[in-house]
Homo-oligomer: A and B are copies of this chain.
Amino acid sequence: MESSVGIVEKQYFTFAAPPEKFILESGAELGPITIAYETYGTLNKNKNNAILLAHAFSGDSHVAGHYATDKDGEKPGWWDFLIGPGKGIDTNKYFVICPNILGSCMGSTGPSSINPDTGSPYGLDFPMMTIGDMVITQKALVDYLEITQLRAVIGGSVGGMQVLEWCVRYPGMVQAALPIATTMRHSALAIAFNEIARQSIMADPNWANGNYYGGDRPNMGLAVARMVGHVTYLSDEAMRRKFGRRLQDKESFSFGFDGDFQVESYLRHQGSKFVHRFDANSVLYITKASDYFDVVDQMGASGPLKGDPSLKIKYLVVSYSSDWLYPTYQAKELVQTLKRSGQDVSFCEIEADCGHDAFLVPDNRLTLLLKGFIDGISSN
């Protein structure tokens, strides 16, 4: 139960209640919208010490600390090693905000939320959304908190896509941007894996075209989808080191389909754990938003990625050497794109054999990198 952040609480911000309208990029309307979020540290008088964290695909707003209701042995938030007094992102200095993304199932409005028009969960009536939509709702939260300037926007993976969207949509509000283990456009390979995850869910008869909330859930399909995800988060090297060909609880082959190898048990465990905490429809919507993500070409964006050198954001792009979902060559493409538009960009590739998930693994190199970079940004 160790966490230097201590006890934290999930908060909620609701906006766009009808007749107010929130228009998504697709043109669809959605409202009211609730964004769950957590904060750490204290907003200073000038309101210029805020840092926004954007979480990854299946993450949530619970970045650090414990809830008062946590049981013994419960893990703290997902970036607890980075967030806290004196840590990489120092809550003695900064006011850290992490919103749960639109479309998720961790407190923010998503397909499992109640549709006010019907009194039942949205299911597939939830409108398709984009990374841009996620960021627009985050901006609404930041406005509500009366913050006009973010010292930094930081995020890994799908969180890194949100970072880039922030820079495109609200460049005047962002002092520093730290896109980590991410890409400026989803590749065919990444789309392929997401499509397999979606097809796996939609192939489960319990999915019932998204209307499963009153009955059995598409847990089998969702578990397979998660197994696919987990393989993409690891790497050949990591799996060789972590599992190799070691057998699980047996000394020789079973000659059956119950699983022989540790890697099989691991994946099955990850799959069955996930169905208890995540909503299958949220997987569909969030993966689709990632697939649509192409911050340069398919967005009509007009921010610094398109080239407005007057709006100087300080970028730190971080990639991991064994990440094959968003490989280093894609981070370099991002760096080049930013450089070409005259931006102030630093780039670090961290050598790590644990694949895409490396940014979630405690690593002092990331901690020191972030600390040095963020502390070097002067307040306006």
**Known contacts A196-B227, A298-B245, A189 near B257 by CB under 8 Å:** no
> A140 near B: Cβ within 8 Å?
no
**Known contacts A264-B195, A267-B195, A188 near B242 by CB under 8 Å:** yes
> A128 near B: Cβ within 8 Å?
yes
> A294 near B: Cβ within 8 Å?
yes
Q: In the complex, are the beta carbons of B224 and A200 less than 8 A apart?
A: yes
In the complex, chain B residues whose CB is within 8 Å of the CB of A193:
231
- Among B188, B240, B253, B268, contact of A263 (Cβ-Cβ < 8 Å): B188
Give the secondary structure class of A's interface. Answer: helix
**Known contacts A261-B191, A268-B199, A186 near B291 by CB under 8 Å:** no
> A215 near B: Cβ within 8 Å?
no
Interface stretch, picked from A75-83, A102-110, A201-209, A311-319, is A201-209
Q: In the complex, are the beta carbons of A185 and B245 less than 8 A apart?
A: yes
> CB-nearest residue of chain B relative to A237?
B189
Q: In the complex, are the beta carbons of B240 and A221 less than 8 A apart?
A: no
State the CA gap A8–B134 with chains docked (Å): 59
Size of the A side of the interface (Cβ < 8 Å), in residues, is: 58
Q: In the complex, are the beta carbons of A187 and B255 less than 8 A apart?
A: no
- Among B128, B227, B255, B291, contact of A261 (Cβ-Cβ < 8 Å): B291
Residues of A239-281 whose CB lies within 8 A of B: 239-240, 242-245, 253, 255-257, 259-261, 263-264, 267-268, 271
**Known contacts A192-B263, A198-B257, A264-B191, A327 near B203 by CB under 8 Å:** no
Provide the A119-155 mask, 1 if CB < 8 A to any CB of B, else 0. Answer: 0000010011000000000000000000000000000
> CB-nearest residue of chain B relative to A230?
B192
**Nearest Cβ on chain B to A153's Cβ, whole angstroms:** 25
Provide the A211-244 mask, 1 if CB < 8 A to any CB of B, else 0. Answer: 0000000001101100110010010100110111
State the CA gap A268–B267 with chains docked (Å): 24
In the complex, chain B residues whose CB is within 8 Å of the CB of A324:
236, 324
Q: In the complex, are the beta carbons of B203 and A245 less than 8 A apart?
A: no
State the CA gap A272–B205 with chains docked (Å): 17
26 contacts between A and B (CB under 8 A): A26-B253, A26-B255, A124-B257, A127-B255, A185-B245, A187-B240, A188-B243, A189-B234, A189-B240, A191-B245, A192-B231, A192-B263, A193-B231, A195-B227, A195-B264, A195-B267, A199-B227, A199-B267, A203-B204, A203-B220, A203-B223, A236-B324, A257-B284, A257-B288, A260-B292, A261-B291
Chain A contact residues, CB within 8 Å of chain B? 26, 28, 124, 127-128, 185-189, 191-193, 195-196, 198-200, 202-205, 220-221, 223-224, 227-228, 231, 234, 236, 239-240, 242-245, 253, 255-257, 259-261, 263-264, 267-268, 271, 284, 288, 291-292, 294, 297-298, 324, 327
